[in-house]
Amino acid sequence: MSKGFRKSLFGFNTTDVLAFIAASDKAAKLKTDELNAKISELESKVKTLEEQNLELVAKNAEYESKKEQIRVMSENVARMYLSAKTTSQLLVEKAEESRRLIAEENKEQLSTLQKTNESMLTAGEQISSAAESYCEGLKELCASLEAIKSEIDKNEKDTEEAIREFSDIVNKKI
């Protein structure tokens, strides 16, 4: 504020100097009030930001805790997956071994039944010449053996189908 003062007998004009001082004081008070308002506003913002920062720190701690929980849970899921996979592989191996044993047993039984059937047919032919009524009984017995053979064949097919379905289910779950 460069304002020239009027000159008077003893220096500068007192009224001009006092007016200048009053104007300067008034401008300084306005500036001070303005700056104090800004300081209050900034202090309020700082307080708000500090509160927000505390909330964010708390949320971050919560998220870190959850992150750790998720990590632990994912490790547990991985362990469970590996355990389930191993168990399912063992089950499939046992099922395959059981199927193999059943198939071998069925083959043996089928072979035995076929031999028995053949023997019965031969015996039926020999006996038919001696007694026709006795032959009818043997033919019925042969028919029963054929039914048993069919049942064993059916059971073998059903067993293979069940094992295939079980393997498919286990493979889908893995």
Cα Rg for the chain, rounded, in angstroms? 53
- In contact, 107 and 152? CB cutoff 8 Å: no
- In contact, 169 and 88? CB cutoff 8 Å: no
132/7 Cα distance (integer angstroms): 165
Q: Which of 69, 71, 74, 151 is nearest to 110 (CA)?
A: 151
Residue type, 28: A
Tokens of 81: 């997956």
Percent of the chain with pLDDT over 90: 43
Q: Which of 156, 162, 163, 142 is nearest to 110 (CA)?
A: 156
pLDDT digits (tens, 9 = 90+) for 23-75: 999 999 999 999 999 999 999 999 999 999 999 999 999 999 999 999 999 99
| pLDDT mean over 122-129 | 73
| CB-based burial label for 106 (10 Å; 0-12, 13-18, 19+) | middle
| pLDDT mean over 76-90 | 92
Residue-averaged pLDDT of the chain: 85
Please give the helix or strand (H or E) that residue 11 lies within, else none. Answer: strand 11-12
31/115 Cα distance (integer angstroms): 120
Q: Is this prediction's pTM over 0.85?
A: no
Place of tokens 């003893």: 10
